Structure 1
Amino acid sequence: MKRLLSSLLCLSVALVATSAASRCLAETVPGIASEKPAEGPFVKVDEGYMVPYTFRIPGTDQEIEMVPVPGGEFLLGSPEGEEDRSEDEGPQVKVTVDPMWVAKTEVTWGQYKEYMNLYAIFKDFEAEGIRPVNDDNKVDAITAPTELYEPTFTFEYGQEPEQPAVTMTQYSAQQFTKWLSLVSGQQYRLPTEAEWEYAARAGTKTAYSWGDSTDEIDDYAWYFDNADEGQVAVASKKPNAFGLYDMHGNVAEWTVNAYTEDGYASFAEKKNLNATDVVVWPEYPSPCVLRGGSWEFDPEDLRSAARLASDYEEWKVDDPNFPRSPWWLTSDPSRGVGFRIFRSYKPLGKEKITKFWEAQAEDTILDVKSRIDGGRGGLGLVDKDLPKAIEEAK
C-alpha cells in the first residue's frame, strides 16, 4: 500500500510539473494560450492552444498579425478535371501539413521598409566599426537590399504603409524573414508550395477557396478586371475560411520552391510526405514558384493550385547593374510580386531553417558576394540587441 501511495504521489507531482511547464510555455511563447479561447480561431496542441497573436517588429512601430492554421492532410495540386488546369499542377500527391501560424496579410510596405532601412544602417555600422561581421558570427548576419535603382517604377502604384510590398526577389524575401526571426526570437520564413496551397485552400477541394465558380471572385480577390491601378491595401476583401486575406490576387506570393515543369512528379511515388519536405530547392535563381496570382492576372491564374514561374531574364531586363541585383526586380510583372510569412508550430532544425533563410542557388550566392565585396551591399549582424544598437548610434 505504501508503495502504491508513493507511486501515486510521484505521478501527481509529475502531472503538476508538466501542467506548470505548459502554463509557463504558454506565457512566454507568442501565439500559445494555456486556456481555451472563448471565441476566435484556435488549434489544440500539447502545450495548450495555438491562437492569433500580433507582434511588433522590435525597434519599429510596425505590427504583424499571425493566424493559427490547423494541421491536416490534403492533395497538393489540381485534379485532372479542373477547368483551366495546367499540366504543371499535377500529379496530385497526398501531403501532411503540421500546425502553423500564417500572416493574416501579405508583407506591407510599412513592414518591408523597416528592412530596407537596414542598408544605410549597416553601411554606417561598417564605417564606424560597430558590430563587425566576421567568420565567427556571419551565420547571424543578413544582407539588406540596396536602394532602389528606379523607385518611380517600384512605387508607381503607391508605397502606402498598408499596400503589399512588391518587386523584391525571392532571396530578399528570405533575408527579410531571417531578420525578422533573429530580431524577434521566433522562427519566421517563406512557405513551401504545399504549405501555401494548404493555407489558401482552407479545407476546400475546389478551384478557389470559395468554390469552383468565379461568380464570387470580386468578394475575395483583386485581379485584372477590378484592380487596374496596381496593388490594393491588404485585407480590403473577404478572408478565406482560415481568416487569411488576399490568398487569391493582389500580389503573387513567393514560396521557397524551384519551379518544375513536370509539377510534382518527383514526389508521386513517395509516402508519408510532410509539407516542409515537398521542396525542390533551387539550383538557379530562376525559375522559382509564386502562388496566388496578382492584380495583373485573370481569374484562372488565381486558383488555389495555379503556379507562376519566375523569369529573372525578363523580370530584371531593365536592371543596368552587373551582376544584376540579387535584391530587386525591375520589370513587370514584378509589380505584382510580394510575399507572406509563415511560422511552424514546432520550430524547424537549424539545417532546414537555414535553407529557408539563405540563397540555395550558387549564382545568387556569388552575386551577393560580389556586391558585398565591392561595397555595393549592406551586411550586418542581427540579434535581439540590434534595435538598441541602432538607437544608440543615432
Structure 2
Amino acid sequence: MDLEGIVEFGRKRSLKAMVIRNLVLQDRSRAVRALLVSASVAGLSAVVGCETGPGGDADVTRGHDHQAPLDDSGESQAHSGDAKVVPTEPIEVTVPGTSVTLTMQPIAPAVGAPFYVATTEATWDLYDAFIFNLDTDAGESTEASDAVTRPSKPYVLADRGYGHAGYGLLSASPAAVERFVEWLSIKTGRTIRIPTEAEMRYLLETSGIEDADARLASGWFEENAEYSTHAVGSRPVDANGIHDIWGNLSEYAIAPDGTWVVMGGSFIDPVADVGLDYRIPFTTDWNADDPQIPKSPWWLASNDWVGVRLACDP
C-alpha cells in the first residue's frame, strides 16, 4: 500500500469508529450516553489540553539505544562481543508510589536479544499515577521522576466510558507514551520501553493463535467486543504467557526508522482483517477532532482503539 493509500485507510478507520460509536450510544443508558456524547461534541477538548513539554526531553523508547532489541530483520542490535543475558523466569516489577506491580514475561527469540514483555496491556491504574502525580502525593517520587514532563490532565472521559480500573490505557499519543516510559524507567530502575516492530511481530507469530477462530477465542474484536474494550487479562494467556496480544487494543511498536506503528488489531476490527500483515503507521489524523489550536501533543481525540504494551530489557 502506498503512502496515499495508508492515509486514506486511516481516515476511513476514524470515520468507521465514529459511526459505530454513535450507533452503540443509541443503545446505552441516557446518563452514559450524555457523558459520551458530551465528550464527542467537545472534541475531547479538555482531555487534549494544550499543555506542551519542553523540547529536548530524553526519548527512551526509540529502541536503537537500548540493550539490543530485535531490529526489523529479526537480528540482534547487540555488538558481537556483548554477553547475552537470557531470562528464564517471569519478574515482578514494582512501581514505587503506585498500587501497580508489572508482571513481565521472559521472551527469548532464537535470533536476536531476549527481552521481557508485560503480560497485559498497560492500564489506567498505572497511567493515572503518572498523569495525576499520585507518586508525589504518596511521598514516593524523586527529583528525577518529578522532572519528567507529564501530559495534561483529562477533564472528561479519557477512557470513553468503556471502563477504567483494570482496563487498558487508550488514546495516548506517542509523545505521551515516551514520557510515560521515561518516568517508569526512573521509578523502577529498569529500561522500560515500547517493543520494537520486530519484537511485536515475534510475539504475534509465536502466540500459538493461528486463525480467526482462535483469535476470537483469545481476544476482543468487532464480532464479540460489543464496541467496547474489556478488562485486561480477561481472555486466556497465549503460548508466550501473555494476554490480548491479538485484539482488545492495537498496540504501539517502534519501526526501524524510529516511527510508530500499531499492530495486533483491536475491538473495532473484524477478526478477518487482522493478521501478521496488520500494521498501521501513526498519523496525526488520529487527533483530527481536537478543536484546539495548536492541537494537543498528548491525547488522540479521534482514536479510541490504540493502547500500550510495555517491554523491558534484562
Structure 1 length normalisation: TM-score?
0.53
Equivalent AA in structure 2 for residue 160 of structure 1: H
Pair 1:322 & 2:301 matched: no
- Give, in whole Å, the separation in 2 of the partners of 1:344 and 1:120: 24
Equivalent of 2:269 in 290, 297, 301: 297
**Structure 1: gaps (5+ residues):** 1-44, 74-96, 123-129, 132-136, 258-278, 283-287, 346-394
SS for the counterpart of 1:199 is helix
Secondary structure of 1:68's counterpart equals strand
1:196 aligns with 2:173: no
**Residue in 2 that maps onto 1:100:** 115
Q: How many residues align?
A: 228
Alignment root-mean-square deviation, CA: 2.6
- Give secondary structure in 1 for the equivalent of 2:152: coil
Structure 1 residue aligned with 2:104: 66
Local SS of the residue matching 1:295:
coil
Per-residue displacement from partner, 1:266-313 (whole Å, max 9, x unpaired)? xxxxxxxxxxxxx1123xxxxx3111111001113431331012221x
Paired residue for 1:210?
A: 209
Say if 2:221 is the partner of 1:223: yes
Contact 1:172 1:327 in 2 (8 A): yes
Residue 163 of structure 2 contacts residue 231 of structure 2 at CA under 8 Å; is this kept in 1? no
Q: Which residue identity is paired with 2:305?
A: G
With over 3 angstroms needed to count, the CA separation of the structure-2 counterparts of 1:238 and 1:322, relative to structure 1, is same
- CA 300–307 in structure 1, closer or farther in 2 if over 3 Å, else same: farther
* 2:249 alignment partner in structure 1: 251
How big is each residue's C-alpha offset from its partner over 1:343-373, in whole Å with a ceiling of 9 and x where there is no partner?
A: 122xxxxxxxxxxxxxxxxxxxxxxxxxxxx
Given the superposition, is the C-alpha separation of residues 309 and 48 from structure 1 closer, same or farther in structure 2, using an over 3 Å criterion?
closer
Cα shift at 1:46: 6.7
Distance in 1 (CA, whole Å) between partners of 2:113 and 2:88 is 12
Q: What is the identity percentage for the equivalent residue pairs of Structure 1 and Structure 2?
A: 28
Contact 1:292 1:301 survives alignment (8 Å):
no
- Would you say the 8 A contact 2:247–2:267 is kept in 1? yes
For 1:339 and 1:48, the matched residues in 2 are separated by: 24
Structure 2: distance between partners of 1:159 and 1:215: 26
Q: Are 1:146 and 2:152 matched, yes or no?
A: yes
2:257: which partner in 1? 280
1:300-379 map, 5 Å: 300-312=272-284, 314-331=285-302, 334-345=303-314
Q: Which residue of 2 aligns with 1:88?
A: none
Q: Is the 8 A contact 1:119 1:147 kept in 2?
A: no
Is residue 185 of structure 1 aligned with residue 189 of structure 2?
A: yes
> Which residue of the partner structure matches residue 167 of structure 1?
171
Q: What's the counterpart of residue 7 of structure 2?
A: none
Residues 120 and 225 of structure 1: CA distance in aligned 2, closer, same or farther (over 3 Å): same
**Amino acid paired to 2:230:** V
Distance 1:120 1:328, change over 3 A: farther
Could you tell me how far apart the structure 2 residues matched to 1:317 and 1:141 are? 30
Structure with greater contact order relative to length (CA < 8 Å, sep ≥ 6)? 2
Aligned residue in 2 for 1:232: 230
Separation of aligned partners in 1, 2:196 and 2:86 = 26
Which structure has the greater CA radius of gyration?
1
Does structure 2 retain, via aligned residues, the 8 Å contact 1:200–1:240? Answer: no
| Cα distance between partner residues in 1 of 2:224 and 2:281 | 24
Contact 2:107 2:240 in 1 (8 A): yes
